Amino acid sequence: MSGLITLHGWGRERLTEILDKAEGYVASAQSTAFSGATVTCAFFEASTRTRLSFERAAHRLGAYVMGFSPELSSVTKGESFKDTILTLTAIGTDVFILRHTLADAADLAAGWSGRPVINAGLGSREHPTQTLIDALTLRQEFGRLDGLRMAIVGDIRNSRVARGHLIALPTLGVELTLVGPTPFMPQDNPWGVRTSTNLDDELGDVDVVYLLRIQAERGSSADIPSSAGYARRYGMNEERLSMMKPTGVVMHPGPINRGVEIDDATADSERSLLVRQVANGVPVRMAVIAEALEGVR
């Protein structure tokens, strides 16, 4: 049962293989390769780009997409997570694409359903397809990943995107520094990466500034006195952009909060890869879905 719950344990070859596969899908036409297959998007947490790009990716592979939103389902009538997964399995799905607030939801769903589960964002644990998207985007931009330096800036403690990056990007040769106020840092540093509380000190050394949103829905706005103060210390703006190398770029997994972690000029500048990140969501997710469906065939 393959699926993709975590990139933990993936070596450089395996990661490169899926990035190559995704690259191959970038310009691919509509396919019927997986017609007859069904994937279920079970999103127990809000999403725009992840959900739509997973759906688009499945369509482009020829698969049928069953959508499921808890707020419009029997979850509102008290159906448990387990019973919901069992119900969706009984209706008939080959693969689950799951987003959930809880870290182990995908492992449990895989166990209950016996189907491959693709992690579309689990709590603050990991968001592996976002990590693959960002790796692909960077590889396109710089022609390599080895030796790139990235500062991940913001609410890292609550960020599943940052955790995915910490798991996989060092394996691909990207050197990471975590930047943000101490209350936004993980309590422990099992990855052994550099940390810094001063963004301005880091800007001259990095190729990529990777910005994160303050995750108000996980209570992190209570960890800082104000978003205005945060914006002054850590917000990316034209002045800070000018402190970077001329080749330096800005990335963000979205959704962005303009005026907090990024200002309008930076978000819309040619040094911003934000739109390309979103566009790469489709081919990367095609590669991941294709692998999962190949596994069940």
Q: Which residues lie near another protein (CB under 8 A)?
A: 80-82, 100, 102-105, 107-108, 123-126, 157-160, 163, 186-191, 219
The amino acid present at 79, given as its one-letter code, is E
The span from the CA of 245 to the CA of 266, in Å, is 15
Closest to another protein by CB, 65 vs 98, is 98
Q: Which is nearer to another protein, 28 or 80 (CB)?
A: 80
Residue whose C-alpha is closest to residue 120's, from 35, 14, 3: 3
Residue 5 CB, shortest distance to another protein, in Å, is 12
Q: How far is the CB of 191 from another protein (least distance, A)?
A: 8
Is cis: bond before 170, omega within 30 of 0?
no
Minimum CB distance to another protein smaller for 152 or for 244: 152
Residue 270, C-beta contacts closer than 8 angstroms, at least 6 positions apart: none
Q: How far apart are CA 48 and CA 112, in angstroms?
A: 27
Shortest distance, position 188 Cβ to another protein, whole Å: 4
Cβ atoms within 10 Å of 47's Cβ, excluding its own: 17
Nearer to another protein among residue 60 and residue 115 (C-beta): 115
| Longest Cα–Cα distance in the chain | 56
Which amino acid, residue 57?
A
List, in order, residues 6 or more apart from 237 with CB less than 8 Å away.
Answer: 262, 263, 265, 266
Q: Residue 27 Cβ, how far from another protein at the closest point, in Å? A: 35
Instruction: Kindly state the smallest distance separating residue 158's Cβ from another protein, in Å.
Output: 7
Closest to another protein by CB, 13 vs 188, is 188
Q: Indicate the residue among 203 and 214 with the shorter CB distance to another protein.
A: 214
| Angle in degrees, CA 92, 45, 61, rounded to 5 | 45
Return the number of the residue (73 or 195) whose C-beta is nearest another protein.
Answer: 195
Q: Are 156 and 185 in contact (CB under 8 A)?
A: yes
CB 57 within 8 A of CB 28: no
Q: CB of 65: closest distance to another protein in angstroms?
A: 25
| Distance, CA of 137 to CA of 176 (rounded, Å) | 16
CB of 2: closest distance to another protein in angstroms? 19
Shortest distance (Å) from residue 163 CB to another protein? 5
Q: 16 or 47: whose CB is closer to another protein?
A: 47
Which residues have CB under 8 Å from 135's CB, separation 6+? 15, 19, 145, 168, 169, 172, 174
Dihedral sign (CA 99, 100, 101, 107): negative
